[in-house]
Amino acid sequence: MMNVGAAKDGDAVISIRGVSMSYGARRVLDHVDLDVRRGEILVLLGGSGSGKTTLLKHVLGLGKPEAGSITIYGVDITRCPRSELVAVRRRIGVAFQAGALFNSLSVEENVALPLRELTRLADSTIKLVVWMKLMAVGLSEAGSLYPPELSGGMRKRAAVARAMALDPEILILDEPSAGLDPIVSAELDELILFLKRSFGVTILVVTHELESAFHIADRVAMLYQGQLIAVDRKEQFMRNEHPRIRQFLDRQPDAAPGVAAEEFIASYLRGSRI
């Protein structure tokens, strides 16, 4: 679905400027600046508790940041009226971490839901669109199944199909490969690349799975303790010398628990001797 006034290739479709957020005394996001450019796959890396989920929620307009702005297609979603936010959301498809499929609806009905509710398409057209979307994610056989009957990989695919239902220009995927075995995870990576190639969507992926991240990414951004410590093309990113990035890429633990315990015991013994 092309639209008038769309950004040219390489322009930022989502631009995050100085976004800060804290829960109580804990700073979750600290002046985050990030651009997602049209047509690229940007992978947002970060460990648990790095603030990536919070950032994602803010991009979707599900929370208001304390400071900063998030502009999507020229609309600052942190300040715009609700109607504009809804209009911007129509151009974004989201596949949530656990799929967020509605358990009372079959896979087909799940994909059809946004079409039924938000468009005036005839039932036969909706059926066709749903079939096409399920075909694209390789689930055309599983349309009549219900979400609890699906395997983890199928559920993620179904979620992607639903996210693609309204032909979004931006696709946001939250942890697409979390909890999947390597083969299914690789299939999902191929699906993401396929969607980019054939539909030209801009894709923002939030993950902590390194292999899949570097396979699909054009650019990689890394969040650490609420701060964006690097945004780079993936080749440069892999050569980044930031200690945290090295630690993350080389899979080094923070501090071995055994060492800390030994130190504690040693200091205790020293203290008790005095």
Partner 1 sequence: MTFLEQVGQAAIVRVEDAGALTMQFWSVLCKLPRVLPFVGARRRWRSAVAQMLAIGASALPMSGIMSLCTGFILALQSASELRRYGALDFVVDLVAIGFTRELGPLITALSVSGRSASAISAEIGTMVVTEEIDALQVMGLDPVEFTLAPKYLAALITLPCLTILSTLCGIFAGFLFLAFSMDMSLRIYLLAVAEAILLRDVAFMLIKSLVFATIIVHVGCLEGLRVRGGPEAVGHSTTAAVVKSTFLVILADLVATAIFYLMGWSSLR
- Which spans of this chain sit near partner 1 (rule: CB under 8 A)? 57, 60-62, 86, 89-90, 92, 94, 96-102, 113-114, 116-118
**244: number of Cβ within 10 Å:** 16
Task: Supply angle C-alpha 136, 138, 144, rounded to 5.
Answer: 105
Instruction: State how far the alpha carbon of 129 is from the alpha carbons of 110, 115, 122, 126, 199, in Å.
Output: 12, 9, 11, 5, 14
Q: For residues 61 and 68, which CB has a smaller minimum distance to partner 1 in the complex?
A: 61
Q: For residues 175 and 217, which CB has a smaller minimum distance to partner 1 in the complex?
A: 175
Token pair recorded at residue 124: 């036969």
What one-letter code names the amino acid at 73? Answer: Y
Kind of pairing between the strands at 12-23 and 67-72: antiparallel
Q: For residues 83 and 124, which CB has a smaller minimum distance to partner 1 in the complex?
A: 83
**Shortest Cβ distance from residue 211 to partner 1 (Å)?**
25
* Distance, first Cα to last Cα, the chain: 77
Q: What secondary structure does DSSP assign to 180-194, as a single string?
A: --HHHHHHHHHHHHH
**Shortest Cβ distance from residue 245 to partner 1 (Å)?**
29
Q: For residues 99 and 176, which CB has a smaller minimum distance to partner 1 in the complex?
A: 99
**Shortest Cβ distance from residue 96 to partner 1 (Å)?**
4
Q: For residues 84 and 218, which CB has a smaller minimum distance to partner 1 in the complex?
A: 84
**Shortest Cβ distance from residue 165 to partner 1 (Å)?**
9
d(CA 16, CA 219): 16
**Shortest Cβ distance from residue 151 to partner 1 (Å)?**
16
